[in-house]
Structure 1
Amino acid sequence: MSDNAYLLASKQWYETPALATVRSDFQDEVRSHLPESGWQVRRNDIWLQVDSFVDQVPEQGFKIHVSSIPDCAKALLGLVTRACVARDISFKCAAGPELLAFQNGKNRDRGGGGKFITIYPPSHEAFLDLLETLYQETAGKDFVGPYILSDRRYKDSRVLYYRYGGMKVRRRLMADGLEVAILVGPDGGEVKDLRQAFFSLPPWVEDPFEEADEEDGSVIGGSFEVTAMISATNRGGVYEALDLDSGSTVVIKEARPHVHRTTRGTATIDSHSLLEHEYDVLRHLDGLDCTVRPIKLFKEWEHLFMAEEKVQGIMLRTAAGRAEDLWLPYARNGMSFGDIEPKFYRLGESLLDAVEAIHARGVIISDLSTNNVMVDPDSWDVRLIDFEAAIRVGKDEHMMPALSKWTTPGYVRKQRIASGVVTFEDDYYAASRVLLNTLVPTGALSALNPDCHAAFIGFLLDIGVPEWVADLIEATAAGDVSSARAALAHPNV
């Protein structure tokens, strides 16, 4: 299970997921279909375990996984519960709607993402029978869910998947101190039972269904040849690709359907709608030197992709940590602030220019941090990326209840958290945190105590950082652009 699961019960410290408070919707639905005796329902971490007293769960075998979006989850859970009760087959489901949202969220590890219900057939024959029964009962209905990457889809179902794995989990302690789940082969040999972002079978097991021929997916969108993966989340990957038409290198962002689905107010957003929104925002900002140029929005299979210009530079958080640019009050590399002062000056100037230019187009950036500021390592000019949370004033207000929650901890004003409303002033506050975090990484701490910045700025002044730096950060935080510009007029750099 990913580290994010241990933040479900508390946002301040790690806790067992079993302590996460959830609504009783799913438990109530399950219990409404159970007989008076013969079944046990209990909480097990993020799961609601539903066990038949008759069923004998095998050590390992083919499991059935069911995915779902929140809209149809209760109806689908009721259907599955009735089918399992009729056959005395044990299963588990996400313990509540909040945990289904976690399973379908961006931060869920890709090997576990999308799993709403797991069913443990007692035999191979029971597996085949139940899978086909569920297929027939869900066919033609509006049941949809995220594709489960670790599994293989059953026929053309949008919610039914299967994989071979452990049912009564057996673990082995490895040399690195970590425990791993294992499977045992016919010869007694052991292999790791890995939940990966692709379907795989142990060597002695064959897929009981005919495999579809897999197409070469290196060229997508008609003209983009994928050459490398930059990053990947449950929501989708970010890739580097060659544009075969122009010969240029581009970045391609992927959105898997039904992932990261959120409804707030009248707006429902998911990975697809967010990528479409980002493409529209980038087109609105096209022509600015501080943003990236959108190239194409296209669909490949069931996934949505956006090709955009590849920015020449590195992420600000990486640039600030390079040996030649690393200045921290506690660093023992012999550097002084004066060694990076010209770069920091240009960073402040360029960042203010970028925010003002974007605001002049009527766009609130909404989510600004060192994670989405790209910097030229020589000139320290900035380019901003990742505009999925941006708001075009007069056009996107209906999305604000959902997008206002799309934040980076430590870069958000208390007023925004309280009101759920995003303003231009929020961008200036976030820009000030970008500047401060370039000097001292305060992000995680300031998420717990937003008022700690004054202490850090005071400390920087005490150890000799010029006053213009404090003036720039504080004026930017207040949204006082003229005073921030005045601060930049003082230094002799």
Structure 2
Amino acid sequence: MRPSDYEQFCQADPVFYDDPGARDDAQSLYPPAVAPVPEGWRRSGDSVWVYLHPDGQTLPDQGWKVHVSGTLDEAPEIIDIVLDFCHEQELSVKFLRSRETVLKANSKYAPRGSSGKLLTLYPRDETELHRTLTGLEPLLAGRRGPYILSDLRWRDSLLYVRYGAYRQLYCLDEQGRTVSALRDANGTLVPDLRRPVFAVPEWITVPDFLREQIEARSDAAPEDFPYDIEKALHFSNGGGVYKARDRRTGEVVVLREARPMAGLDHRGTDAVERLHRERDVLRRLSGLDFVPALHEHLVVWEHEYLVEEFIEGEKLERHLFTGRYPLLRAEPDAATLAEYTALALDYGE
């Protein structure tokens, strides 16, 4: 696992390092997770999702899924609206079971490819897909939610679309790992890639009403962003950190990106609010020689950026622990231990 993956095990319990699924969220379950199901429907669930499926209905193995986004505070109302629509239209659906799971799914180090998904709807064909999008759009007008990076956004709504697996099928990827799978045009199982960018399998024909959205998305790319990205320094669900160059001056800078309503901390604070705090602190500390200079604060499309001074250097953790840490070697001598201890104490002071 990546170091960031360990955070979920730390959050599972205030005292113990534990399985993320072991955390008891019974106190924050949403009412539809426990209320009686409508007649003719059945419910199942796991530690994350609640599934509702109309009796006698068979879904295809794969197709165009509709994902519904929503903020932590508005999630209960959005779930109720969408479930009422699904019951009326006899649409299979799943939703995050509790406030706790919504918080986890949108946390800073949650998987970027799936973050933001509050509900998933399973239309059986393209006609039902279009009816779902046009029917739900006005019902959710005025609501807010994080952008789902893996999907195509339907107009300016909380609705997102992605072609993917409906039923759990598996295959091996190029690294030999077992992953979710789709059937290609020949019926062969291939990985159902869930990356933080919208993509369509090459054998799938995009419906005309979705193609219009793809073209509109391409036309909306900002042309006046004055920085060229040279390198990604860090990624999280809250946004990226980039080494960039100012086209106007040629200066190398750091761009700190924040996605609204995403990258939540344990209090529910999103990445944009934390970015504003960092901006305000950098302004207060401006002029100190050990604080990076803040050049500007930009809002581009729906994301916000701080442009900061780029300072050459090495991460302290790498400086202290990569190659220098004596306990990485068997039986270090006393002189090596003493030297490292002095170095660590010096940095601590």
Q: TM-score range by the shorter chain?
A: 0.7 to 0.9
Count of residue pairs brought into register by the alignment: 339
Identity of aligned residues (%): 29
Deviation, structure 1 residue 326: 3.1
Q: CA deviation at 1:281?
A: 0.2
What letter matches 2:19 in structure 1? E
Matched, 1:128 2:135: no
| 2:248 alignment partner, one of 235, 245, 249 | 245
Q: What are the residue-to-residue correspondences of 1:419-430 with 2, within 5 Å?
A: none
> For residues 130-171 of structure 1, what are the alpha-carbon distances to aligned partners after superposition, in whole Å with 9 as ceiling and x for unaligned?
1110012222x3x111000111100111x1101000010101
Are residue 274 (structure 1) and residue 268 (structure 2) matched? no
Question: Is 1:161 aligned to residue 156 of structure 2?
Answer: no
* Contact preservation (8 Å) 2:30, 2:99: no
Larger Cα-atom Rg: 1
Asked if the contact 2:238–2:270 (Cα under 8 Å) also holds between the matched residues in 1, the reply is no
1:461-485 Cα shifts (integer Å, max 9, x gaps)? xxxxxxxxxxxxxxxxxxxxxxxxx
Return the offset for 1:308: 0.8
Render the CA deviation track for 1:308-339: whole Å, top value 9, x for unaligned.
1112211111001233x333385556661454
CA separation of 1:14/1:177 partners in 2, compared to 1, >3 Å: closer, same or farther?
farther
Q: 2:71 aligns with which of 64, 69, 72?
A: 69
* Deviation by residue 1:368-408 (Cα, 9 ceiling, x = unmatched): xxxxxxxxxxxxxxxxxxxxxxxxxxxxxxxxxxxxxxxxx
The residue that corresponds to 2:111 in the other structure is 109
Q: Relative to structure 1, is the Cα distance of residues 345 and 202 closer, same or farther in structure 2, using a 3 angstrom cutoff?
A: same
- Which amino acid in 2 is paired with 1:69? T
User: By how many angstroms is 1:9 displaced?
Assistant: 4.5
Partner of 2:325: 326
The residue number in structure 2 matching 1:201 is: 200
1:188 and 2:175 correspond: no
Aligned in 2, Cα 1:247/1:342: closer, same or farther, shift over 3 Å?
farther
Contact 1:4/1:108, CA 8 A, preserved across alignment = no
Deviation at 1:83, TM superposition (A): 0.8
Instruction: Tell me the distance in 2 between the aligned counterparts of 1:60 and 1:7.
Output: 35
The residue number in structure 1 matching 2:305 is: 305
Give the TM-score of the pair, scaled to structure 1: 0.63
Deviation for aligned residue 1:174? 5.2
Residues 216 and 243 of structure 1, relative CA distance in 2, 3 Å threshold: farther
Q: Name whichever of 114-123 and 338-347 sits farther off.
A: 338-347
3-state DSSP of counterpart to 2:170: strand
Scaled by the length of structure 2, the TM-score of the pair is 0.87
1:179-207: CA deviation from partner (whole Å, max 9, x where unpaired): 11111123223321011100011111133
Equivalent pair of 1:30/1:78 in contact (CA under 8 Å):
no
Are 2:44 and 1:42 aligned?
yes
Residue 64 of structure 1 aligns to a residue whose secondary structure is strand
Q: 1:247 to 1:176 in 2, by over 3 A?
A: closer
Q: CA deviation at 1:347?
A: 2.4
Counterpart of 1:230?
233
Distance 2:182 2:341 in 1: 57
Partner Cα separation in structure 2 for residue 194 and residue 154 of structure 1:
21
- 1:169–1:307 distance in 2 versus 1, CA, 3 Å: same
Alignment of 1:64-463 (within 5 A): 64-139=66-141, 141=142, 143-157=143-157, 159-173=158-172, 178-208=177-207, 209=210, 210=212, 211=214, 212=216, 214=218, 222-261=225-264, 269-323=269-323, 325-328=324-327, 331-332=330-331, 336-337=336-337, 339-340=339-340, 343-344=343-344, 346-348=346-348, 352=349
Specify which of 31, 52, 55 is matched with residue 53 of structure 1: 55
The offset of 1:253, in angstroms, is 0.6
Give yes or no for contact 1:42–1:49 (8 Å, CA) kept in 2.
yes
Which segments of 5 or more consecutive residues in structure 2 lack a partner in the other structure? none
Which structure is higher in RCO with an 8 Å CA cutoff and minimum separation 6? 2
Offset, 1:216: 9.5
Q: CA RMSD in A?
A: 2.8
